[in-house]
Amino acid sequence: MRDSQSHSSGAPDRASRRLLVVGMARSGIAAAKLAVSQGHRVVCTDRRPDAPVVPGTESVYGAHRLEDFLGADAIIVSPGVPAALPELRAAVAAGVEVVGELAWAAEQLACPILAVSGTNGKSTTTHLLAQLCANAGMRSFEGGNIGRPLSEAVNGEWEVAVVEVSSYQMELPGRFRPRAAAILNLTPDHLERHGTMEAYGAHKCRMFARMGPDDAAIVPNGDARLRRLADEHPGKRFLLGSHPGVTIEGDRLVLRGVHDPGEVPLAGFTLPGNHNVENLAAAVLLAMFAGLWRRDLDVSRLGGLPHRMELVHEAGGVRWIDDSKATNVDSAVACYQGFVGPFVALLGGAGKAGAQYDVLAPALRNARHVLCFGADGPVIQAALARNEVPASLVPTLGAAIEAARAAARGGDTVILSPACASFDEFRDFEDRGRFFRVRVRGVPAITAST
């Protein structure tokens, strides 16, 4: 059974305040609803004129008013709004408290927080960790950057909050203090917002900034930059891929330096790919800081998330896997590199700035066929050709699916792990994944643009 732990970040200030919520997407809506329920006077602002309205608030939509920022007692910022917004900078200069939605909600939780960040794998790791806790009998909240905003956890009777954390959410970290936090990896992404890899990594490591000496700060053993940046902060260091921490050794995980050291067998774990075993290793290590014991952990009961190496169809001996969440090169490399067996690869979409497609080549040398599609399809095909990996070019994902259907043989797996964003054809990676699922099952699908 688990050990009970208390790790409250602090009690909420219930005195009525004038709060400004900036950005009315999912996080902003949740924060505004919570603030209204607590009796605060809430103004919501968004540059979109048609942003959602939260009952009980004043809505200022279409443009920001500087007086709302300067007149607030505190400002709660959605992660999609950059901290460099001029109105936010003016508020900070005027001494107004400015905090991200995640950090604002975290201060009001009475349960410990287990946080997961990284460029790739953080959603799957968060989901695996939440399942480990729930299957062990804990009342476990799962959310943050994935699914439910953390504001929805406040006032709930949770024993642990399992929270995915993005680098955007750590631009305004407030007094965010998790009991344990892991950064899985760091590869080029979001550089249009952070500028450099150094700044990107530094934002991730802000999760550790307010840790106590017994809180766990977890980083990959092989990433020198993250280890150096993490060492600038407090917390007790644990490693992914070494000890103290967790290693993958054959058919088992090995934990060292925790309250219940030893082996965790991988028997029954069904998520495909070596990268998912790495995700599981991080989740198991984090679970130790929820007070779980190795005997509580049943990896055979764990499932994956939609659009992350998800088997969506099987017919004629051909399996179809949706990994639409692989929106950057490194996540696609992890998918194809870790796959065992013959496969057909589908790559393409709206490429991210600075994408280096050449690094895909080693992971694709054993592919039966490679199909490139979408806006960056020609660029990917050219990069693979430079590395002597033949690939065919088709205009759209729909065309790629039909070409894959013709090329695949019994025993093959067709994998959509596109290495690109989806915005050339679809609303988001989820829309792309739904299209893939419907089309491979033989039903005509309609894209977001039609």
Domain residue spans of the chain: 18-100, 109-301, 310-440
Domain 310-440: give its CATH superfamily.
Mur ligase, C-terminal domain (3.90.190.20)
Say whether pLDDT at 43 is over 70. Answer: yes
Given a contact cutoff of 8 angstroms between Cβ atoms, the answer to whether 151 and 34 are in contact is yes
Q: What percent of the chain has pLDDT over 70?
A: 95
Question: In the prediction, which pLDDT does 5 show?
Answer: 42
Say whether pLDDT at 168 is over 60. Answer: yes
**Strand pairing of 252-256 and 262-265?**
antiparallel
Say whether pLDDT at 450 is over 50. Answer: no
Rg (CA), the chain: 23
Give 93-130 pLDDT, tens digit per residue.
999 999 999 999 999 999 999 999 999 999 999 999 99
Say what the pTM is: 0.85
Pick the CATH number of 18-100 from 3.40.50.410, 1.10.10.10, 3.40.50.720, 3.90.180.10: 3.40.50.720
Residue with the two structure tokens 């950064």: 183
Say whether pLDDT at 445 is over 50. Answer: no
Question: In the prediction, which pLDDT does 14 show?
Answer: 53
Residue with the two structure tokens 């990676």: 429
Phi, psi of 302 (to 5 degrees): -95, 135
**Domain 109-301: top CATH class:** alpha beta
Question: In the prediction, which pLDDT does 187 show?
Answer: 86
Given a contact cutoff of 8 angstroms between Cβ atoms, the answer to whether 391 and 380 are in contact is yes
Say whether pLDDT at 255 is over 90. Answer: yes
Q: What is the mean pLDDT of residues 18-44?
A: 98
Question: In the prediction, which pLDDT does 167 show?
Answer: 93
Give 381-414 pLDDT, tens digit per residue.
999 999 999 999 999 999 999 999 999 999 999 9
Mean pLDDT of the chain: 93
Residues 6+ apart with CB under 8 A from 218: 180, 181, 182, 183, 237, 238, 239, 240, 245, 282, 285, 286
Question: In the prediction, which pLDDT does 442 show?
Answer: 83
Q: What is the mean pLDDT of residues 220-240?
A: 97
Compute, in degrees rounded to 10, the torsion defined by CA atoms 319, 322, 323, 329. Answer: 80
Say whether pLDDT at 190 is over 90. Answer: no
Q: What is the mean pLDDT of residues 422-429?
A: 96
Question: In the prediction, which pLDDT does 7 show?
Answer: 47
Tokens for 384, please give them: 């693979």
Residues 6+ apart with CB under 8 A from 431: 422, 447, 448
Q: What is the mean pLDDT of residues 302-308?
A: 91
Distance CA 318, CA 134 (A): 34
Phi, psi of 135 (to 5 degrees): -65, -20
Q: What is the mean pLDDT of residues 233-245?
A: 98
DSSP string, 384-433: HHHTT---EE-SSHHHHHHHHHHH--TT-EEEE--SSBSTTTSSSHHHHH
**Strand pairing of 58-61 and 18-22?**
unpaired
| Helix/strand/coil for 83 | coil
Q: What is the mean pLDDT of residues 247-251?
A: 97
Say whether pLDDT at 69 is over 50. Answer: yes
Q: Which has the higher per-residue pLDDT, 65 or 188?
A: 65
Q: Binning pLDDT at 50, 70 and 90, where does residue 10 land?
A: very low
Q: What is the 3-state secondary structure (H, E, C) of 356-380?
A: CHHHHHHHHCCCCEEEEECCCHHHH
Pick from 112, 109, 88: nearest CA to 100 = 88
| Helix/strand/coil for 135 | helix
Q: What percent of the chain has pLDDT over 90?
A: 87
Residues shown for the chain: 450
Question: In the prediction, which pLDDT does 443 show?
Answer: 55
